Amino acid sequence: MAKEFKIELIGADELLAILAKAGARAIPAVKQAITEEAQIIFRDSQRIVPVDTGTLRASGQILPAKEVGNGIEIVFGYGGAASAYALRQHENLSYNHKEGKQAKYLEEPLMARKSNFRQNLLKRVERILS
């Protein structure tokens, strides 16, 4: 997994207020909410990841969310031992993929959810804490 994207929540006052009231339950709730969002992005990427032998698709993984500094991080993507191959397939827009498969197979699903990420996270955290 060579390419990295970061999403910072700016102006998330409503979410911060909910988390402040949650106390010790806040961090596990955010970890679960971020994991659920990552699972949706990953599921969407599985639909469009190029498939020849199935090795690339099978290399996909979501690692557990963890606390890093003052934030929470989740890592997910494709590659493992096939990282160089996964990166080429992801970045090379000139490859001729089978119908329904494409380059940018992880980036596109991530970007499609980015604009609603804060609201999605807020709803998930509220549900988890209720």
Query: Residues 44-81: pLDDT tens digits?
Result: 999 999 998 889 999 999 999 999 988 899 999 998 88
| Domain boundaries along the sequence of the chain | 13-129
Whether 30 contacts 72, CB under 8 Å: yes
Using DSSP's 3-state secondary structure scheme, residue 61 falls into strand
As a whole number, mean pLDDT of residues 95-102 equals 94
Q: What does the pLDDT read at residue 4?
A: 62
Which pLDDT tens digit goes with each residue over 101-118?
Answer: 999 999 999 999 988 988
Which pLDDT tens digit goes with each residue over 7-51?
Answer: 666 557 787 788 888 889 999 999 999 999 999 999 999 999 999
